[in-house]
Chains A and B, each alone.
Chain A
């Protein structure tokens, strides 16, 4: 992977966003466009931290996760995305701004959550269980939807059901998480399973 980076920032955002790689080989993505989308999201969330976006373009899978090296406003946030997370699924290898906004928005929200003290006990993204991952995705996706980011609620309901079960109680729990704001990590965990 090229270690060259590019810098971009939205005109009014204070977040500095860099994207790796600067040039894509396997997919038709534009680093500047990715940076612009992330900068816009950061501005909406009032995140001023420096942000790195690392895209693995060698795989078509769609895993996204985040890392933050400290719970402070000057810590670097790193968003990892496999290329499928930013892809236009109707036109393989092409970029989807809508998909990118949704995928990167989710993990940016997680990074934002981690800066709260009541998330100190949340495991790292790669150490989350499948159920914890699903619960946090539900919580983030609901907030993204209210921010005006295009999100498919039924997709996330199905994901939640797959992890917690197919019954009315779980659906109630999903709705509660989806519509929630200002939760601590422990709240997410206890709400998710109904």
Chain B
């Protein structure tokens, strides 16, 4: 088996179709109001709540996104358990206990795939009904174990915390007996995973501040990518928000949360600008 596994080779059955961020960003459509002169968004708030007219279908789409995200997280954790030899943490090695934590995470993510598949069934979504964006595995799975921790355990699992919190609230308000229950169990696991990442990042780079700085910079890049053009953010134009309370439980500092929030807002404006430019280029009304 190869030491490192490329995203193009992620194995899927024929129901799944994969895409990536480059393809996604070619889409000139948007649900947000891109007119610079308008302060209002198009129609009602985009936040995923039962008040949205398309609440059920939006929840189904997000649940499918969660499921394929969990598949990639499972694959990522499994690869990290495999790819790096046990050692003292220098070069290409990781501490033995870190490998054990990654194996534990693989188990947790496998359960999350199971839960998401059951919930998809409950919500009337077929496996592979939506395109799968491989950005999660792609961005997170660096060949450097420390960057991988930053990408997977901080950025990707941090995103999971945000999304699960939104779905939990959605399920709670809608009175869904399973959704809120399941999302809360998954949330508990994700908080654990983020803490694993924070703790190991700190321990392994205790004597290598340069490596730690590089890891945190990488994490910020991935965090911005995982804003998905402002789909995550504090604005009413975003589908889900930063789950500040659960991120604090997981060990994110106030400064870190504030930085991510700012990047989400930047990502939203950048997306709007990209859409405006695309429309100008194709001669459509902005």
Contacts and interface: CB of A to CB of B under 8 A. Distances in A.
Question: Taking the complex as a whole, does A directly touch B, i.e. does some CB pair lie under 8 Å apart?
Answer: yes
B214 interface: no
Given A25-B282, A154-B121, A157-B124, A165 B175 contact: yes
Interface stretch (B46-54, B72-80, B135-143): B46-54
B36 interface: no
B125 A61 contact: no
Contacts of B175: 165-166
A118 to B, nearest CB: 25
B17 A59 contact: no
A159 B22 CA distance: 32
Interface stretch (A45-53, A72-80, A83-91): A83-91
Nearest to A165: B175
A57 B29 contact: yes
B183 to A, nearest CB: 15
A153 interface: yes
A143 to B, nearest CB: 18
A59 B29 contact: yes
A179 interface: no
A83 B61 CA distance: 16
B173 to A, nearest CB: 10
A184 to B, nearest CB: 24
A92 to B, nearest CB: 6
Label chain B's interface by main secondary structure. loop
B61 to A, nearest CB: 8
B124 A153 contact: yes
B114 interface: no
B128 A154 contact: no
Interface in A136-173: 152-159, 161-162, 165-166
Contacts of A57: 29
A73 B95 CA distance: 76
A159 B123 CA distance: 8
A93 to B, nearest CB: 6
B124 A92 contact: no
Contacts of A158: 56, 60, 122-124
A130 interface: yes
Given A89-B129, A161-B176, A133 B53 contact: yes
10 contacts: A26-B28, A26-B284, A59-B42, A62-B54, A63-B54, A83-B29, A89-B130, A130-B55, A155-B123, A166-B175
Given A58-B29, A59-B42, A157-B124, 7 more contacts: A25-B28, A26-B27, A59-B31, A90-B129, A130-B51, A155-B123, A166-B176
The 6 closest A-B pairs by CB, nearest first: A155-B124, A154-B124, A159-B56, A90-B17, A26-B28, A60-B29
